[in-house]
Amino acid sequence: MLDTHRHIRMLPEQVANKIAAGEVVERPASVVKELVENAIDAGARRIEVHVAAGGRKLIEVRDDGSGMGRDDALMSIERQATSKIRDVDDIERISTLGFRGEAIPAIASVSRFTLKTCAAGEGEGTELTVIGGRLQDVKAAGFPQGTTIEVRDLFFNVPARRKFLRAYQTEQAHIRTVFTLHALAHPEIGMALQSDGRDVARLAPESTLEDRIRELFGAEFLTGLRPVSRELAGVSVTGFVGLPALTRSDRSDQYVFINGRPATAPVIAYALREAYPPLDGERKPVVFLFLAMNPELVDVNVHPTKREVRFRRPADVREAIIEGICAALGRTRRLAVATGAAASSAGGAGHPPEGACGVDAALPVMPTAAPPPGQPARDLPLPPLRPPGGVPLPFDYPGKTLPCPQAPPPVVEAVPAAETPQPLDDAFAGGAGAPWAWCRVIGPVGGLYLLLEIDSGYVVLDPRAAHERVLYERLLARVRRGEALTQTLLLPETVVLPPAHAERLRGWLTVLQRMGFGVAEFGGDTFLVDALPPEVAAVPCRSLLLDICNDLETLGARRGAEGWREDALVRAACAAAVKNDGALATEEAGQLVRDLAACRMPYTCPRGRPTMILTTYRELARKFGRA
């Protein structure tokens, strides 16, 4: 028997609108994004955003753009109605932010929606009221030129979506991130953000990008940036990039705009990795990059929320970004070096042969290093290569002469081999928690690690990971005892944080103060720091606060205070230890080993990386065939 319920049929309009809302409206910040983009497309010179309860109760966006007449206002709430596309060819050269005609009806279908608008030269405006996707009222209203949209009780008719919204503070942080993105993309537009009646940001119109960065992030932040200006193969790259010392643990401070649209693509992340020198611990650089190109060369219609784009000539985009950043940072890009006859046919060293293509031709190759001064090269007894017929090849075998590697500078004085190993301290002898019965420092390995001899073999120690573990356990012990040892700063410092980071930090002030941080609000997104725990007193305050609050958004709101405190301690310890990469003196190395052995968990850093790698005498004997 045929099941009539499985016949294909058209969905009701309300259901279709709610499905579309699921793609467009993820959270209150999505509504702000769509409405601000519409205001920008309307030619607005001033945009004001008002939100209440993290956008759940109210989102209001006002602009002084071109506005709409009555007929256009009624058409705007219909699905797939847009003024920005006329035929299929327009999709290939999109230059506006909103073009699909899905945002307004999708938002109106899951909220109590009010639109007030007036076109230029019109004597009166129009007011529409839509509740849950159903038009309730249309009337004439006195209204200045521009558009105001009010979105109240978002997801009131979709409780399954509403219950997945995060805490007010989290949603507010997402809204501020969207606001910051569009404020950076269009510094010529005056923008304001108000939350629960409080001014969060008020940005002047007719600003430059430099002025806008200064307003949002502070003058101190701007000193670590360098301007970028490069054009290559029709791709223009402008903006600012941070010096290699100005980094973050994630991509939260990487702002990339493509033809004025906040977006990204995999090739951009690759170009940033290539343009910067190797950064410590997979940290990410700070960038404000604006890419401009012919709209026909970029496809912005590959993602439902237009977050990601696709380039028709990604190699040109990659090269323009890399060359622009390298020039801004004063770096010399690595060039491919050809050898032997290949170099001759290419017309000189450093140029690939004509017609070369594929991966090998595109990848940079580091030139062979010259022998260090005073170090003679070693000739390796390599026989000449011959093909099976016995005829010598028509080129010399490359690499007959290899430089002798230079040993890294000594970090710790080595103990003479004949000396009898002695314990570093009596506390290590027979200690139940210590990883060794006795230990001595042999010396540095590779300039980064320490080699230790212990009773059962030898240990390679990572000083940074060890230092993180020591600092973390000291801070944790003090907090658990209710102690908050602080070191008062000689001169209090004011720190201006990005809006999203400042919002997170406000919720953590009490926890930080219990840990010994003298941090207080100083108005806006500025904080006053007048004391720090002794272990982190040498770390720059701004870097420390950014590193501590950078990942707090991902922590669950239901976690206990102890867990939250420990997460903040991990970040504080890691941020402090990162700044101690210099060479360790003999006394410092010995003290670090002692402190690590006294830890409750000396084998890993707070983030789970190993602090030491043990090789036992038994393992050595097996590898040498003595077992």
Q: pTM for the complete prediction? A: 0.62
Coil, strand or helix at 452: strand
Q: Is 428 left (phi over 0), alpha (psi -120 to 50) or beta?
A: alpha
CATH class of 224-329: alpha beta
Q: What is the pLDDT of residue 290?
A: 95
Q: Which CATH architecture has domain 13-205?
A: 2-Layer Sandwich (3.30)
Calculate the CA 216 to chain-centre distance.
Answer: 17
Q: What is the pLDDT of residue 418?
A: 38
Query: For the chain, what is the total number of helices (H) and then of strands (E)?
Result: 19, 26
Calculate the CA 519 to chain-centre distance.
Answer: 25
Regions of the chain where pLDDT drops below 70: 1-6, 9-11, 13-23, 80-101, 281, 301-306, 333-433, 482, 484-485, 535-536, 538, 548-569, 571, 575-576, 578-584, 627
According to CATH, where is 3.30.1540.20 located in the chain? 426-462+585-623
Residues 333-378: tens digit of each pLDDT: 654 433 333 333 333 333 333 333 333 333 333 333 343 344 333 3
How far apart CA 284 and CA 273 sit, in angstroms, is 9
For 466-553+560-578, the fitting CATH number among 3.20.20.70, 3.40.50.150, 3.40.50.2300, 3.30.1370.100 is 3.30.1370.100
According to CATH, where is 3.30.1370.100 located in the chain? 466-553+560-578
Calculate the CA 383 to chain-centre distance.
Answer: 51
How far apart CA 331 and CA 379 sit, in angstroms, is 33
Residues 451-479: tens digit of each pLDDT: 888 888 888 988 888 888 888 888 778 77
According to CATH, where is 3.30.565.10 located in the chain? 13-205
Residues 163-180: tens digit of each pLDDT: 888 888 888 888 999 999
**What count of Cα atoms within 13 Å lies in the side-chain half-sphere of residue 563?**
7
CB 11 within 8 A of CB 150: no
How far apart CA 328 and CA 243 sit, in angstroms, is 9
Q: What is the pLDDT of residue 180?
A: 92
Q: Residue ranges of the alpha helices (H) in 77-200?
A: 103-108, 159-162, 168-185
**What count of Cα atoms within 13 Å lies in the side-chain half-sphere of residue 264?**
14
Q: What is the pLDDT of residue 304?
A: 60
User: What's the mean pLDDT when you consider all of the chain?
Assistant: 75
- CATH 2.40.50.100 for domain 426-462+585-623, yes or no, is no
Residues 388-435: tens digit of each pLDDT: 444 444 444 343 333 443 444 444 444 444 344 444 443 344 455 678
- Pick the closest to residue 521 from 494, 548, 541 (CA basis): 494
The DSSP secondary structure of 307-366, one letter per residue, reads -B-EESSHHHHHHHHHHHHHHHHTPPPP-----HHHHHHHTSTTSPPTT--SHHHHS--P
